[in-house]
Chains A and B, each alone.
Chain A
């Protein structure tokens, strides 16, 4: 609010600006323990893509859920075309022309595209398939996308599902379209398709809200940018300002809004550099394999994709191998099979050239295999136990924390204080129960637990998913340091391609439970990876 540019939010709109479609006035929303939105004003204009930036937990999604009728605001109101409207439920929002595309698909996977569109029509008893088909054709033509109306939604790639969601929102007559982190699940090609579609939508006079935490997306896609911080509107960059500034200037402005007074210390954080980074490997990788997968297959549990085709992959000491792929393409089965939490259906797994296929989870841990789960609360920690105990849950019964089965609490606490310090885990005390920590600190706790006691290979599953920028940087630095040490290797499974390009020496691409290929991380790797991802998703 201090820089003159950001005061644009308070100044009256110049007449040249397009008319306001929807206005949020003084929205306040609290949950037990959090003030998610604190008196936020926001004006969405027709024909504009309005980017909403902010860290995780800044209140972006909450604000939009208020607009979409999912939450009722404690205070404040919504104005559509200047009139105050009461939005008490999603139906009300749809009726006034507000459509939301959530981060996770809300389509019914076993229904066809057409059936999903006809759902929620509610006009009479009889459904007119012919009319629906015509409408779909028209909309997909406008958006420049091609969707087979009779395909089951579950068989579509996530990018296509998202297109269907957008079509559905338009179908319902939306004048305002909210996209909640639409790029987080997309391949690079998918993002390009989305950008093209957004241009078409703007031409049709739609107001689009684009939620993201990636700066470069905000600058390339958005017409104007609003930044939320701790539930408050930290600042707004109007369309004029956005056009008139260079990328670096904009970036400095936004970083200052998101982290006031910390811009200096965050200069090195790659995600804030405003563009996707692809650093080639600068590390010296040894020839010693720490983890070898030979034709590994894993049976799928209900409703998931297993590893159908033998995956063969080697991780060397001093190497970070990334596994790219859109979520739900066999990542978790692969990670759990390596960790020993579920059996291999076929193939062999070697740790330091020794087959560990028959070893239990604990047995593999003792040999130096570590697994940082992506399911932090579900299995990563035991919420009611203290931070100190959670740091040793994988060493139960082992010296020095236990002697002859007796718990040595002072040793456990000492270990915890050291790790809390070293890994900068924010906790009131080592005896605080771990469930009270924030997601980022829980992740740091898990990373600390896996990285101590000389690991040989660490499998990270979505290591920075849902973390704020600073914690993300800290976790990535740890992964890099692990490999730089030269003793251990890391297998990083992530849906965030930028993360993999930043960290990995090589990137393997997983799609529909198959290993599509392994790409050396060098300039241009992004395109190769994207091609591997798309090659399968289009065909399957």
Chain B
């Protein structure tokens, strides 16, 4: 739009400038939200094909995920671990480190927190136990990244492979812990001992939402501050944007790879601790919410910005909570929700591709128009000769 005004030679006044800015924001907004809308439409068509009423499905989704108090509470409770995990991914991705093994870090931390939770609250003040358990979650998640990040920093080994492998090991190690040393004798199914309900994370006053959401928001604010306002944040950004430039600039790349990875894993471990201590109080064997894979798409939709990611994750939480109920009512399996997420990803890629193509096309046309006049004049000159 700015270009169009430019091309017409219009005096770009204050009003136009404002509307240009507004349009830019609008287009940025649509770029993010568009894929979601398209995905909902495509999902609606699928629902129609399966003989369900898409409007009713989505209405139920949003009613039970957002527009009822209980549903909203559930969504916000779900938001806490999702946000922390998203922040964990963003810290690594911004530094150009592909921490694909988030689910392994999450489950191993969850198993440790779940296994140690009940014994710890039994022997110490519960607030101290909760703080220590959160730290343990953070620590375990961070430690689980040490092998991949060491391999990456010292030997340049591809972290996508190593984190993925460590995730397999982590997930199964978590199960071994739950079925072995942490196995509860009081339960028929394999799980850890249950932390008494009264010792779980306290509620935010006046609600039934545990304080995990506050922890998450505070952590997100801190991550944002570090990323934008500190030397460490700048170092990680350089590392992500151009690792060779990081070496050239004299940045201690090995140290920063290790710390960024540890921070990433730590935040994901903290997400696990908050989920276990806020919602469940125990961890069952073979439990795997697999938040990681879907969050990948979301953090990219949000442009790896921890502030922008909040509404996206919130939307995802609503779809998860509300969609669960909607799928139940429509007699559909829960997998339908994953299908919706997949569609969002698909349309996100499509929108980005279309936007680039349109931009190139517009650019070419504009030049073509400007070139047109002189081009014809040139032809004339040639024939005259």
Given contacts A362-B250, A396-B235, A397-B231, whether A28 and B378 have CB atoms under 8 Å apart is yes
B280 at the interface (CB under 8 A from A): no
Q: A30, B367: Cβ atoms under 8 Å?
A: yes
Residues in chain B near residue A375, CB distance under 8 A: 244
Q: What are the nearest 3 A-B pairs in CB distance?
A: A362-B250, A39-B378, A361-B250
Cα separation A365 to B247 with both chains bound (whole Å): 12
A407 pairs with B371, CB closer than 8 A: no
Chain A interface category by residue count: 35 or more
Chain A residues packing against B (C-beta within 8 Å): 25-26, 28, 30, 32-33, 35, 38-39, 41, 74-76, 339-341, 360-365, 371, 373, 375, 378-385, 389, 393-394, 396-397, 402, 405-407
- B229 near A394 (CB under 8 angstroms)? no
What residues of chain B lie closer than 8 Å to A383, measured between beta carbons?
A: 241-242
The answer to whether A379 and B234 touch (CB under 8 A), given A26-B378, A39-B378, is no
Bound complex: CA A443 to CA B146 (Å): 38
Instruction: Report 17 cross-chain contacts, Cβ distance below 8 Å, ordered by A residue.
Output: A26-B375, A32-B363, A32-B367, A75-B371, A341-B247, A360-B252, A362-B252, A371-B248, A373-B248, A379-B242, A389-B234, A393-B238, A393-B245, A394-B250, A396-B234, A397-B231, A402-B231
Residues of B bordering A, CB below 8 Å: 228-235, 237-238, 241-242, 244-245, 247-252, 360, 363-364, 367-368, 371, 374-375, 377-379, 381-382
Given contacts A26-B379, A76-B378, A383-B242, contact A405 B232 (CB under 8 A): yes
Q: List chain B residues, Cβ under 8 A from A339.
A: 248
CB distance from B95 to the nearest CB of A (A): 13
Given A361-B248, A407-B229, 7 more A-B residue pairs with CB atoms under 8 Å apart are: A32-B364, A75-B379, A379-B245, A382-B241, A393-B234, A397-B231, A406-B231
What are the residues of chain B within 8 A of A341 when measuring CB–CB?
247-248
* Cα–Cα distance between A38 and B244 once the two chains are bound (Å): 37
- Interchain CB contact under 8 A, B230 and A406: yes
With A30-B367, A35-B367, A383-B241 as contacts: A396 and B252 at CB distance below 8 Å: no
| Chain A hits for B377, CB < 8 A | 39
With a cutoff of 8 Å between Cβ atoms, the chain B residues found around residue A362 in the complex are: 250-252
Given contacts A379-B242, A393-B245, A396-B234, contact A360 B250 (CB under 8 A): yes
Are A396 and B382 interface neighbours, CB within 8 A? no
List the A residue with the shortest CB-CB distance to B233: A407
CB-CB under 8 A from A340, the residues of chain B are: 250
A373 to B228, CA, bound (A): 27
Closest to A384 in B: B241
Q: Which of A26, A38, A76, A405 contacts B230 (CB 8 A)?
A: A405
- Distance in angstroms between the alpha carbons of A443 and B64 in the assembled complex: 59
- Which of A75, A381, A397 contacts B375, CB < 8 Å? A75
Which A residues are CB-close (under 8 A) to B248?
339, 341, 361, 371, 373, 379-380
By the criterion CB–CB under 8 Å, are A74 and B252 in contact? no
Determine the distance from Cα of A365 to Cα of B234 in the docked complex, in whole angstroms: 18
Question: Residues of A contacting B360 with CB < 8 Å?
Answer: 32
Cβ–Cβ contact B378 & A75, under 8 A: yes
Asked if A385 contacts B238 (CB within 8 A), the reply is yes
Closest to B363 in A: A32
Check if A382 sits within 8 Å of B251, measured CB to CB: no
Residues of B within 8 A of A371 (CB): 248
Would B374 and A407 count as touching, CB distance under 8 A? no
Instruction: Check A396 against B379 for contact (C-beta < 8 Å).
Output: no
CB closest residue in chain B, given A396: B231
B241 touches A379 (CB 8 A): no
Query: Is the CB–CB distance between A26 and B382 below 8 Å?
Result: yes
Q: Within 8 Å CB of A365, what residues of B?
A: 250
Given contacts A379-B242, A382-B241, contact A407 B234 (CB under 8 A): yes
Chain B residue numbers with a CB within 8 Å of A41 are 382
Q: A30-B367, A76-B378 are in contact. Are A394 and B231 (CB under 8 A)?
A: no
